[in-house]
């Protein structure tokens, strides 16, 4: 089935459509429209006729698109702007009457809960603070041991701050000072926020994604993913200074900052920057997943009372189902890879924890077959590098993609120079050594039959003897492994013997 989720935000209306098959999901479409609903609130908290009409027109467009796309179920949620509007019932009733769609008004606390569900299921941290700054509210949540301990919805967002402190064009220094005092007072007023000191800040929402995009463009970051991208405090300071000292026109020229957000960016960026300072946090981690993804996770059975304990496993197993990968073969290659890694520890001498790399590379090494068997190792590299893999750092995702891309006897013909500058000399060496073990593990199950049940390895002089324990003829596997003898010797300076 296709499942549509529409988020009626204070600044932007957003849509995602997911294809759900059994217990797997895949986001197949998305759309956004800047409506600025919160700009239509007057002093009596009444939405203007203009914004009501525009909001309903946009909602109708998104709902019709969902229906035309074949969505069997559509969930529409409203957030801060509708919460604040005293005439919100007019919008909700009109939506039901004219569009035949139910608009669910989310309380601020529930919005924060869905932010928690979205982030905890996709980021591998036990303790952190999340911040979702939207157009009309800011949600904060304290996570301890992967549980939501405290949360709050503050009644200000990017649009509010821009209007209240005259930040749409070049701000006056006095207004910037007023903004900073307001933010400091807001944070100091939350006693429980002291428990988040020195924890990483996980950032959710369009403003925070823009911060990540600006820094990525500035540093010429080679990877496309924004999820799990980390911005250092000094980098955040530099971005805030660069946007708070110029006018709207100059801001529109900043690479990575969208023109539709340039006028409301200063206050929101300041809110993020001041929170990082207040927490004395060492990093801002961008989460692509928030409210909408939290709603999707809930639909898939990973709601607030049943979040995953391992986002990487959840993400990888979902990809296995979406791409229809042979689970038996992939899981057996993982067993063999881990066994080889442990048995050959004396020769590969890899000391750091690389199990996330081994797991991801083993389970997804055949994902490229969906496109074409020929050169599928190169397709595997591309898909793994550019897919949203949750619960793994960018660096480890890159390393896993290279290792998986090297699982056949054919070499990757992709120029890796632009990517490998993210890795140290030692990490590149680790990738080379893991790539050989990946080849061996895949080769030991070349017939896709799990005939090799165990292996034992030992070093004798200049030789590595790999003894297989198998229940049937493995002549295919032995023949294939012999094609890897030169690669093994070039990497480890030892000859390999399979018995």
pLDDT at 371: 87
Tokens encoding 105? 């008004």
Looking at the chain, the whole-number percentage of residues with pLDDT higher than 90 is 95
Please tell me the least confidently modeled range out of 8-12, 96-100, 168-172, 371-375.
Answer: 371-375
Tell me the CATH number of domain 2-106, given options 3.40.5.50, 3.10.20.90, 1.10.1040.10, 3.30.420.40: 3.30.420.40
Residue 177 CB: number of other CB atoms within 10 A? Answer: 12
Q: How confident is the model at residue 87 (pLDDT cuts 50, 70, 90)?
A: very high
CA triple 236-12-265, angle to 5 deg? 25
- Nearby residues of 397 by Cβ (< 8 Å), 6 or more positions away: 225, 360, 384, 385, 389
158-179: average pLDDT? 95
The pLDDT confidence band at residue 415, using thresholds 50, 70 and 90, is: confident
Residue pLDDT, tens place only, 347-406: 999 999 999 999 999 999 999 998 888 889 999 999 999 998 999 999 999 999 999 999
User: What is the model's pLDDT at position 471?
Assistant: 87
| CB-based contacts of 50, cutoff 8 Å, min separation 6 | 40
- pLDDT, residue 114, reads 98
- Asked if the domains 109-288 and 312-498 are classified in one and the same CATH topology, the answer is no
pLDDT average, residue stretch 469-478:
93
pLDDT tens column, 334-351? 999 999 999 999 999 999
Task: Kindly tell me if the per-residue pLDDT of 168 is higher than 90.
Answer: yes
Output the pLDDT for position 409.
83
Q: What is the mean pLDDT of the chain?
A: 96
CB 214 within 8 A of CB 226: no
The per-residue pLDDT for 74 is: 98
pLDDT for the residue numbered 413 = 80
- DSSP string computed for 26-42: EEEEEEEEE--GGGGB-
pLDDT tens for 23-46 read: 999 999 999 999 999 999 999 999
Rounded CA-CA distance 236/274 in Å is: 10
Query: Global pTM?
Result: 0.95
Q: Which two tokens stand for residue 65?
A: 């698109």
pLDDT given at position 203: 98
- What is the mean pLDDT of the segment spanning 401-413? 90
Which three-class secondary structure state does DSSP give residue 223?
Answer: coil
What is the mean predicted confidence (pLDDT) over 450-473?
94
Checking if the pLDDT of 311 tops 90, the result is yes
pLDDT higher at 200 or 421: 200
What is the rounded CA–CA span in Å between residue 205 and residue 201?
A: 13
What local confidence, expressed as pLDDT, does residue 370 receive?
87
| Residue ranges of domains in the chain | 2-106, 109-288, 312-498
User: Do 257 and 152 meet the contact criterion of CB atoms below 8 Å apart?
Assistant: no
CATH code linked to domain 109-288: 3.30.420.150
Could you tell me whether strands 201-204 and 230-231 are parallel, antiparallel, or unpaired per DSSP bridges?
A: unpaired
How would residue 276 be classed by pLDDT, with cut points 50, 70 and 90? very high
Quick one: pLDDT at residue 406? 94
pLDDT score for 344: 96
pLDDT in tens, 106-115: 999 999 999 9
What CA–CA distance (Å, rounded) separates 104 from 12? 17
| % the chain with pLDDT above 70 | 100
Q: In the structure encoding, which two tokens stand for residue 226, read together?
A: 């924004």
Distance (Å, rounded) from C-alpha 218 to C-alpha 214? Answer: 6
Q: Which helix (H) or strand (E) holds 452?
A: strand 452-460
- 312-498: CATH number: 1.10.3210.10
């Amino acid at each position: 089935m296709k499942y549509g989720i529409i988020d009626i935000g204070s600044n932007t209306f957003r849509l995602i459509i997911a294809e759900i098959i059994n217990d797997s999901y895949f986001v197949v479409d998305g759309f956004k429209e800047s409506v600025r609903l919160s700009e239509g609130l007057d002093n009596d908290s009444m939405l203007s006729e203009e914004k009501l009409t525009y909001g309903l027109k946009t909602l109708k467009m998104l709902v019709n698109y969902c229906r035309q796309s074949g969505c069997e179920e559509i969930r529409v949620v409203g957030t801060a702007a509708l919460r604040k509007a005293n005439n919100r019932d007019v919008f909700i009733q009109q939506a039901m009457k004219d569009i035949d769609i139910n608009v669910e008004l989310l309380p601020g606390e529930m919005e924060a809960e869905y932010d928690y569900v979205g982030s905890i299921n996709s980021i591998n941290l036990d303790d952190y603070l999340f911040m979702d700054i939207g157009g009309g509210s800011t949600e904060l949540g304290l996570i301890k041991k992967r549980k939501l301990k405290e949360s709050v919805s503050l009644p200000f967002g990017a649009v509010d701050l821009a209007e209240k402190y005259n930040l749409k064009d070049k701000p006056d220094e006095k207004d910037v000072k007023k903004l900073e005092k307001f933010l400091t007072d807001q944070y100091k007023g939350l006693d429980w926020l002291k428990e988040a000191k020195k924890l990483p800040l996980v950032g959710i929402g369009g403003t925070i994604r823009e911060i990540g995009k600006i820094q990525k463009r500035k540093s010429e970051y080679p990877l496309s993913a924004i999820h799990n991208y980390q911005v250092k405090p000094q980098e955040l300071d530099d971005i805030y200074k660069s946007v708070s000292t110029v006018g709207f026109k100059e801001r529109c020229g900043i690479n990575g900052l969208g023109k539709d957000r340039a006028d409301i960016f200063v206050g929101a960026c300041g809110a993020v920057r001041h929170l990082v300072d207040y927490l004395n946090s060492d990093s801002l981690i961008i989460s692509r997943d928030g409210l909408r993804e939290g709603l999707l996770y809930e639909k898939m059975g990973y709601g607030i009372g049943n979040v995953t304990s391992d986002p990487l496993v959840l993400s990888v197993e979902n990809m296995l189902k979406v791409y229809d990968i042979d689970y038996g073969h992939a899981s057996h290659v993982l067993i063999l890879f881990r066994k080889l890694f442990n048995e050959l520890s004396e020769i590969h001498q890899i000391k750091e924890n690389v199990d996330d790399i081994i797991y991801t590379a083993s389970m997804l090494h055949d994902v490229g077959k969906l496109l074409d068997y020929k050169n599928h190792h190169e397709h595997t590299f591309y898909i793994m590098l550019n897919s949203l893999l949750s619960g793994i750092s960018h660096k480890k995702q890159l390393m896993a993609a290279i290792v998986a891309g090297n699982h056949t006897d054919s070499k990757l013909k992709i120029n890796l120079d632009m990517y490998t500058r993210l890795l140290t000399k030692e990490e590149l060496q680790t990738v080379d050594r893991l790539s050989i073990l990946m080849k061996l593990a895949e080769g030991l199950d070349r017939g896709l039959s799990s005939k090799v049940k165990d292996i034992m390895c030992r070093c004798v002089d200049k030789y590595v003897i790999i003894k297989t324990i198998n229940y049937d003829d493995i002549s295919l596997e032995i023949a294939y492994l012999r094609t890897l003898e030169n690669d093994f010797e070039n990497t480890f300076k030892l000859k390999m013997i399979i018995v």
